[in-house]
Amino acid sequence: MTPRNMARVGGLALTAALMAGVASPALAGSFYLQEQSARGMGRANSGETADKGVESLWWNAASIARSGRQVTTSLHAIRLDAEATNNGSYVTYTNPANGQQYTAPVMNARQTEEPLENGLVPNFAIATPVTDRLAVGLVVAAPYNFTTKYSPESFARYDAGTSELRSADLGLTAAYQVNDWLDIGAGVNVEYVKAKLTSAMPAFAPTFADGSNRLEGDGFAYGWNVGAQVHHGKWDLGLSYRSAIEHDLEGEIETILTGPLAPNSFKADGGASINTPWFASAAVRYAVTDKLTLNAQVNRIGWSEFDAIRVDYPGGGDVIHQNYEDVTTGAIGLDYAMSDKTTLRAGVAYDPTPTTDELRTARIPDADRTLYSVGLRTDVTEGVVFDAAVTYIGMNKSEMHDDRSFYNGLVTSHLRGDIEGSGLVLSMGTTIKF
């Protein structure tokens, strides 16, 4: 395949990723989506950093050094069932004349919400050798996405209304066979992010109607990744690192105030900055027999990069603190060759949340979760394989807790709530050797 044709295929895949509806903060840590291939989902993404082939290209740049010409595409259908419940949310008002404070529950508050939305996650990757030792590849993914929506009467409306983040990541990769057992790889990636954040604003006094905030913006940013794999006898080992990315989004900010503050309403060009985390991964695969292979993987995710959403506009700005913490995730799984044409997979993974009990917003009401996966791979015809997988995600119950100040501290909202739920992912993919 010529470089021009590779670029054309990559462009079509990027367009598809941007057009697809992607929703879920509940499938991996916070708003990172680990659904990067149907093969990987069949074993809960255990061993992906150590496995060979274009299906592991997102996880390790070295994976395509020995793959030959391959193209893969996957689609993951996500169904979520989660409920957020009010647990005493309230607002504190301060009298500017004498400093006296009084509190009141969130007025006209709807007590339960189902904020998480269903969606689709697509991925695409292609690789081709250039020489006997050098290969190049292209991968398109939607790695960082979430959608949550609360009603205008929600108990959480002062913390979040609509929260949407869409991303599309296009990566160019080169991999090299150093010798019979060592492969290395490196890549650069361009990431597009589009975001929309809305929320209500408590009025200066409870006798007035709510105000509102809206931020919309988008932008491109750049990152890099490196990886290495060792293939020796029955063992496959892999290490990889993907950089954090600093996003500066440009767009529009609108604030609508009510009551005596209504003349201060404004709409202006503005922006926001957010950081996506770095990602380090180590994996091992061991062929116990000709039929059975065991897999294990550990990931360290630098979520502390996402410490805040920083908003800027002419004459002012705001910092929406997130205070995420770095986390370590893990997965184990197996591949069992039932026949020359059919392989069964299974896996279990644990994903702790990077959020804390001291600050967990309604925008991304995250929780610890455990994933259980089964998958099946079959040869459709020579050079064409089909993968299917089912993943169940169990979310632990967690508390939403956030305090936000308005009007120079004269009004403060106090979000207090609980969220719990589960998810189901159906994955299908096709890989072709050509």
- Per-residue model confidence (pLDDT) at position 29: 65
pLDDT surpasses 50 at 2:
no
Give the tens place of pLDDT for each residue, 116-141. Answer: 888 888 999 999 999 999 999 999 99
Q: With 0-12 CB in 10 A as exposed, 13-18 as middle and 19+ as buried, what is 428?
A: middle
| Interval 190-225: pLDDT, tens | 999 999 999 999 998 888 999 999 999 999 999 999
Rounded to whole angstroms, the Cα distance separating 88 from 220 reads 40
Q: What are phi and psi of 261, to 5 degrees?
A: -90, 0
**319 pLDDT more than 90:** no
> What is the per-residue pLDDT across 89-109, written as a single tens digit (0 to 9) for each?
999 999 988 989 999 999 999
- Which structure tokens are listed for 376? 């099946």
State yes or no: pLDDT of 346 exceeds 70. Answer: yes
Structure tokens at 372: 């259980």
pTM score of the predicted model = 0.90
How many angstroms separate the CA atoms of 377 and 361, rounded? 39
- What pLDDT sits at residue 46? 96
The arithmetic mean of pLDDT across residues 246-275, rounded, is: 92
pLDDT of amino acid 220: 96
